[in-house]
């Protein structure tokens, strides 16, 4: 490990590894650190099709195609009464290869990206923790690092990219992280073997299933080796306050989702149940002099539409371009490092609005589409992740008034 780098990236997830790979590829000395031993477990297995373009730029598409990852061609929804929607097949909207994607084991996926950053010239070190970021007159100038043997190193850097996920090192230090007051959710999840999947091309679909009272919903994400990730999401207080062990809460919610019970009739739980909460948040500032946030350190919306990994990859890519240009111009100001932020936020807000639609119990998106079939393609675009273009949110011209009317009638 050297004493100084052009760029230090903290966090070896999709955002951090993408940023490190592209900054190193641009010719700048880059250090990528990850506090855990790679590969390591992480939730968030479902990819949006639009990850294709960043994966292509990183040069890992062929690895993805030859991997054991489950092909994801569609998404499907099950309402509170157990009625299944028609699958949203992405290729029906766009027959190109980029309309197909994958369900991934994050340990393997993240390790692939971490190794790819090393292949592109980044110095990649796992089991290395960032204890603190050093600021001089408001500018980030370096870090204190610690290896798993306990050795500490002071490292200087012209730019620091924070990709520390929910740890959110810089935003917590600066007090700029804000919990989303409308999305105080929690999740309990586990992994099953031999859960029933649909035959044919819908077999790899992400399925979102409402429970009977709409107080929670389940995700169903088919992985390789006949393992399926299945989790329940609901308001934090509803799921976690005064209801006993997570396994008991999970089973209570499962009873309220007959469509899932049927899929689990011959399945076997092969993991413990895990819990996460307070995962919906944003940041008031995403870049400063000498630093920039990417991935979940930037913010996280909700797991409902599987946008997390896509936004991590995309933010890592956009930030890397800004960092490389900043280093070329010797301008590592907040304005230069954060020039990509507002267009990125403009796109992600459409997913945030679609999340509000899903959590409005009085509203039926299926009924809306029957009344406005012209918006089905636009909705599929949102589910694909095509949100960074003019007109991406045109569905909301009709959707928001319909949503308001539904709320007023109840």
pLDDT of residue 319: 98
Token pair belonging to 349: 């807000």
Residues linked to residue 134 through DSSP beta bridges, in sequence order: 142
How many C-alpha atoms does 125 have within 13 Å on its Cβ side?
A: 17
Query: What are the tens digits of pLDDT across the range 340-364?
Result: 999 999 999 999 999 999 999 888 8
pLDDT of residue 338: 98
CATH of 71-103+185-277, one of 3.40.50.2000, 3.20.20.70, 3.30.9.100, 3.30.1330.10: 3.30.9.100
Compute the mean pLDDT over every residue in the chain, rounded to the nearest whole number.
Answer: 95
Confidence of residue 35 (pLDDT cuts 50, 70, 90): very high
Query: What are the tens digits of pLDDT across the range 230-262?
Result: 999 999 999 999 999 999 999 999 999 999 999
Alpha-carbon distances, residue 207 vs 76, 113, 125, 147, 255 (angstroms): 5, 26, 36, 41, 17
The pTM is what? 0.96
Query: What are the tens digits of pLDDT across the range 149-202?
Result: 999 999 999 999 999 999 999 999 999 999 998 899 999 999 999 999 999 999
Task: Say if residue 278's pLDDT is above 80.
Answer: no
4-66+104-179+282-346: CATH number: 3.50.50.60
Query: What are the tens digits of pLDDT across the range 226-238?
Result: 999 999 999 999 9
* Average pLDDT value for residue range 14-40: 98
Phi-psi region of 296 (alpha: psi -120 to 50; beta: other; left: phi over 0): alpha
Coil/strand/helix, residue 235: strand
What residue ranges do the domains of the chain occupy? 4-66+104-179+282-346, 71-103+185-277, 360-408
Alpha-carbon distances, residue 220 vs 46, 177, 205, 206, 298 (angstroms): 10, 30, 8, 6, 26
| Environment class of 154 (CB within 10 Å of its CB; exposed 0-12, middle 13-18, buried 19+) | exposed
* Whole-number Å distance between alpha carbons of 252 and 138: 50
For strands 227-235 and 185-193, give the pairing: antiparallel
pLDDT of residue 410: 65
pLDDT of residue 409: 77
pLDDT of residue 102: 98
Query: What are the tens digits of pLDDT across the range 84-111?
Result: 888 989 999 899 999 999 999 999 999 9
For 181-202, b where at least 16 C-beta lie within 10 A, e where not — what string? eebebbbbbbbbeebebbeeeb
**Phi and psi angles of residue 269, each rounded to the nearest 5 degrees, phi first:** -70, 125
**CA angle (48 as vertex; 76, 170 as ends), nearest 5:** 125
8 A C-beta contact, residue 111 and residue 38: yes
* Average pLDDT value for residue range 16-22: 98
Query: What are the tens digits of pLDDT across the range 45-64?
Result: 999 999 999 999 999 999 99
Closest of 228, 222, 231 to residue 249, by C-alpha: 231
Confidence of residue 366 (pLDDT cuts 50, 70, 90): confident
pLDDT of residue 317: 98
Place of tokens 């061609």: 73
Task: Say if residue 207's pLDDT is above 90.
Answer: yes
* Average pLDDT value for residue range 357-379: 91
pLDDT of residue 277: 87
């Amino acid at each position: 490990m050297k004493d100084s780098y052009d760029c230090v990236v903290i966090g070896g997830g999709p955002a951090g590894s993408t940023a490190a790979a592209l900054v190193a590829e641009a010719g700048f000395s880059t250090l990528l650190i990850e506090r855990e031993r790679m590969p390591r477990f992480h939730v968030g297995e479902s990819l949006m099709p639009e990850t294709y373009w960043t994966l292509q730029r990183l040069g890992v598409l062929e690895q993805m195609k030859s991997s054991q990852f489950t092909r994801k061609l569609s998404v499907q929804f099950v309402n509170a009464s157990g009625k299944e929607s028609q699958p949203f097949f992405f290729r029906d909207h766009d027959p190109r290869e980029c309309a197909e994607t994958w369900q991934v084991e994050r340990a393997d996926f993240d390790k692939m990206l971490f190794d790819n950053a090393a292949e592109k010239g980044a110095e990649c070190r796992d089991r290395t923790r960032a204890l603190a970021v050093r600021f001089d007159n408001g500018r980030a100038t370096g870090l204190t690092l610690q290896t798993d043997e306990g050795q500490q190193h002071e490292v200087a850097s012209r730019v620091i990219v924070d990709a520390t996920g929910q740890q959110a090192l810089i935003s917590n230090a600066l007090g700029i992280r804000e919990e989303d007051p409308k999305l105080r959710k929690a999740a309990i999840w586990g992994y099953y073997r031999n859960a029933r999947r649909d035959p044919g091309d819908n077999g790899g679909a992400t399925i979102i299933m409402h429970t009977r009272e709409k107080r929670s919903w389940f995700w169903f994400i088919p992985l390789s080796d006949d393992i399926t990730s299945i989790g329940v999401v609901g308001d934090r207080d509803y799921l976690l306050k005064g209801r006993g062990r997570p396994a008991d809460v999970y089973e209570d919610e499962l009873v309220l989702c007959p469509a899932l019970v049927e899929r689990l009739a011959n399945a076997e739980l092969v993991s413990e149940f895990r819990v996460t909460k307070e995962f919906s948040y944003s940041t008031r500032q995403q870049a400063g002099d000498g630093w920039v946030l990417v991935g979940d350190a930037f913010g996280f919306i909700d797991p409902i539409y599987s946008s997390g990994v896509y936004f991590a990859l995309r933010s890592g890519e956009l930030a890397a371009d800004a960092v490389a240009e900043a280093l070329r111009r010797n301008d590592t100001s907040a304005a230069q490092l954060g020039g990509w932020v507002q267009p990125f936020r403009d796109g992600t807000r459409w997913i945030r609005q679609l999340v509000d639609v899903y959590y409005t119990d009085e509203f039926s998106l299926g009924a809306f589409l029957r009344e406005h079939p012209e918006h089905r393609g636009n909705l599929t675009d949102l589910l694909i992740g095509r949100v960074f273009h003019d007109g991406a949110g045109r569905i909301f011209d009709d959707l928001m008034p319909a949503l308001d009317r539904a709320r007023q009638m109840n």
